[in-house]
Amino acid sequence: MTTTPDPSLTAADWERRYQEGSTRWDLGQAAPGLQALLASDQAPIPGRAMVLGAGRGHDALLLAHHGFSVTAVDFAPSAIRAMAEQATDANLAITLLERDIFDLVPEWAGQFDYIVEHTCFCAIAPSLRPAYAQLAAKLLVPGGELLAIFFTHSRGGGPPFGVSPDELQATFSPYFAVDSLHPVANSIPTRQGEEHLGRFRRLE
């Protein structure tokens, strides 16, 4: 299945944003909420992690640095190139897939201990959210974890399309137990109060 529900959300549209340098989402670093989690005593034990819509790869590289075996997916060629360059510069090995996330199953089903989300869920059409939740579950081993920094702003339109904590619970609960879903304390100033860290465990 190829996802083209909105003309501004195709692979070509995202690639154009990279080529034009319209990449305001790019923090130039991993999500502060993910950095804090990995440095804390609540840090997940390293395992096989897939990063969806990984962009230039800041979160993927952080995970690799922390000992995770990382597969990073994006359908924009420029994002894949940037990740490859960053990985080479950092001397870190990550597997790169230039692919629509909705085309990952069945090939990659059940192969990951973690799915990592940071501004991919807000980049897809809201109508695809149930399919995203099902996809994340299918990519994980039973008991595997979705580690997510969700953009919980309440402005209309998008991308980025905001989501509320209640909507997150409703969307993911068919496949996941919500271990925790809390506001991020150390967001960058322009995202203060608009991010939640979710730790969702795939139901057996």
Q: Would you say 80 or 140 has its CB closer to ligand SAM?
A: 80
The 10 Å Cβ neighbour count of residue 197 is: 21
Q: Which of 49, 124, 133, 137 binds ligand SAM (CB under 6 A)?
A: 124
How many whole angstroms from its chain centre is CA 190? 19
SS3 186: coil
> Which residues contact residue 62 at a Cβ distance below 8 angstroms, ignoring those fewer than 6 apart?
30, 34, 35, 38
As measured in angstroms, the least distance from the Cβ of 196 to ligand SAM is: 15
Q: Would you say 11 or 181 has its CB closer to ligand SAM?
A: 11
> Which residues contact residue 82 at a Cβ distance below 8 angstroms, ignoring those fewer than 6 apart?
18, 55, 56, 57
Letter for the amino acid at 151?
F
Rounded to a whole number of angstroms, the CA Rg of the chain reads: 15
As measured in angstroms, the least distance from the Cβ of 104 to ligand SAM is: 9
**Total residue length of the chain:** 204
Q: Would you say 128 or 168 has its CB closer to ligand SAM?
A: 128
Asked if 79 is part of the footprint of ligand SAM (rule: CB under 6 A), the reply reads yes
Residues 34-63 within binding reach of ligand SAM (CB under 6 A): 53-56
Asked if 33 is part of the footprint of ligand SAM (rule: CB under 6 A), the reply reads no
How many whole angstroms from its chain centre is CA 81? 18
Q: Which one of 41-49, 119-127, 175-183, 194-202 is the stretch in contact with ligand SAM (CB under 6 A)?
A: 119-127
Asked if 181 is part of the footprint of ligand SAM (rule: CB under 6 A), the reply reads no
Residues of this chain that bind ligand SAM (CB under 6 A): 3, 14, 25-26, 53-56, 73-76, 79, 100-102, 118-120, 123-124
